[in-house]
Chain A
Amino acid sequence: MSSPVVGVLAVQGDVREHLRALEESGAHAIAVRRPEEVERVDGLVLPGGESTTMDKLLRAFDLQQPLRERIARGMPAYGSCAGMILLADKVLDSTTDQQTIGGLDVTVRRNAFGRQVDSFETDLTMSGVDGAPIRAVFIRAPWVEAVGPAVEVLATVPDGPAAGRVVAVRQGSLLATSFHPEVTGDHRIHRFFVTEILRR
């Protein structure tokens, strides 16, 4: 079976880390910055970064509509941190004009854990990902505050002040995490996306 082509949305953010994680997970990874590139991919990763900046660039460079259409037609997508915000149908603590691509029936709260001094890393377990706990890195991260009926909760914060908060979800072919597996060198979540969701 040939490798699936997976795009990484490359208007801003930690694109390179996701490209590498995807390549090491058996995908052919390409950067996506233009509408015609959206058509070339079998699936898409929305990276970490600043969600308000990405939203503005998506609209300025005519990417929002093509992405909404592909996701509505069932293209698999995985968003980490800012990428989770972009996939969410509703965002709390957004800027006044902030829009999302949407598709994931969740409400997320932006910068939910606080400012950068509150950013943290911790071990957590995630359903669908076997083996040792995942080292989850939260950087000015959002959390999921409400989920629709079709959404499966895959992980919550294990302890500390935010214990129990939802930080990983899946709805059919859409996957999202509040944290950044791409910065740890542990590619199990990318492999899960490529093998379990894309090749389904």
Chain B
Amino acid sequence: MSDSTTQTSPAASTGTARVKRGMAEMLKGGVIMDVVTPDQAKIAEDAGAVAVMALERVPADIRAQGGVSRMSDPDMIDGIIEAVSIPVMAKARIGHFVEAQVLQSLGVDYIDESEVLTPADYANHIDKWEFTVPFVCGATNLGEALRRITEGAAMIRSKGEAGTGDVSNATTHMRSIRQEIRRLQNLPEDELYVAAKELQAPYELVKEVARAGKLPVVLFTAGGIATPADAAMMMQLGAEGVFVGSGIFKSGNPAERAEAIVKATTFFDDPDAIAKVSRGLGEAMVGINVDEIPQPHRLAERGW
């Protein structure tokens, strides 16, 4: 699988691993924002988003309203594609390969096979190699990330706990993925076989990560990011970019907050710059502490 990135054929080819993973490379250092209308998409683009995620309800509303959450209405996705010139992503339910087929036919630029929606298959994720459009998937730890990459994900994001404004789970997931990579780097070659078994991931991929000290795809963070400082902290923890869901359009001043998070993501290691952009943003989203959410309602526990 990973050698598909080095194979070449003289003719032009679409949907190669390099083209899919390369798309995510171009988003690095950027912020991808959840939007539910073309107007919000425009605000996100004007604020400097590198892409928008089109969905029907932001995670905070999915959480508040309950019910089954599905792929967005094609008309809504068309409207958002029409409204902006930056890449448009959209979410499909875990395992729902037909929603993914529909999203590909609508021309979305990236599909998020997302735990934020209600899973459609509790055993299998989508076979993402079958698609021309690239996929991003959530992960809480290294094994989960590697299983998604094995299924064809071209980008990984930490899951965090979406719709909470509580960044603690994203922190845990980022730290866990980075720690497990560091652990692999320090293992002798002959212990990588057992490591692969424990991670429930293919040996070749585990070896590749141990050697490179990083995932073979871009790693973003998501789930609970609500402030410029949250975004900058995730970047300092090793995220290569940031997804912001409810944090922008559930806040008091979306346009300014969006712009501030974009700037803080670029200057994530400069406290003076983060302080400057954090002033006068008004109310952040109110938020829910992850601890107060009963276990069955925690989205990060969907997917495996």
Where the two chains meet, the residues of A that have a C-beta atom closer than 8 Å to any C-beta of B are 10-17, 33, 48-50, 52-53, 56-57, 60-61, 81-82, 93-95, 97, 110-111, 115-123, 133, 135, 137-140, 159-160, 180, 183-184
Contacts and interface: CB of A to CB of B under 8 A. Distances in A.
Given A116-B87, A116-B133, A117-B14, A17 B48 contact: no
B45 A52 contact: yes
Nearest to A96: B46
Interface string B1-28: 0000000101111111011001101111
Q: Is the interface of A mostly helix, strand, loop or mixed?
A: loop
A59 B220 CA distance: 25
Given A50-B27, A119-B22, A122-B10, 6 more contacts: A94-B85, A111-B85, A116-B23, A116-B109, A117-B133, A121-B13
B50 A49 contact: yes
Given A116-B109, A120-B19, A14 B28 contact: yes
A56 B260 CA distance: 12
B257 interface: no
Contact of B8 (A12, A94, A123): A123
Q: Is the interface of B mostly helix, strand, loop or mixed?
A: loop
A123 B10 contact: yes
Given A13-B29, A15-B29, A17-B25, A33 B266 contact: yes
Interface in B72-101: 85-87
A159 to B, nearest CB: 7
11 contacts: A12-B30, A48-B26, A49-B30, A49-B50, A53-B30, A53-B48, A53-B49, A57-B48, A117-B15, A118-B14, A121-B8
B271 interface: no
A57 to B, nearest CB: 6
Interface of B: 8, 10-16, 18-19, 22-23, 25-30, 45-51, 85-87, 104, 107-110, 132-134, 262-263, 266-267
A93 B86 CA distance: 11
Nearest to A136: B12
A61 B276 CA distance: 12
A58 to B, nearest CB: 10
B211 to A, nearest CB: 15
A28 B102 CA distance: 47
3 tightest CB-CB pairs across the interface, nearest first? A116-B109, A122-B12, A50-B50
Contacts of A97: 46
B103 to A, nearest CB: 10
A95 B104 CA distance: 24
Contacts of A94: 85
Contacts of B262: 53, 56-57
Contact of B85 (A48, A52, A120): A52
Q: Which of B48, B110, B262 has the most CB of A within 10 A?
A: B48
Given A52-B85, A115-B109, A60 B133 contact: no
Contact of B18 (A33, A95, A183): A183
Nearest to A48: B26
A118 B262 CA distance: 28
Nearest to B21: A183
Nearest to B240: A16
A53 B25 CA distance: 15
Contacts of B22: 119, 137, 139, 180, 183
B3 to A, nearest CB: 13
A82 B267 CA distance: 20
Contacts of A10: 29
A166 B37 CA distance: 36
B7 to A, nearest CB: 10
Given A94-B85, A159-B11, A12 B28 contact: yes
Contacts of A139: 19, 22-23, 26
Contacts of A33: 266-267
B12 A50 contact: no
A180 B26 CA distance: 10
Nearest to A119: B19
A162 to B, nearest CB: 9
A43 to B, nearest CB: 21
B132 to A, nearest CB: 5
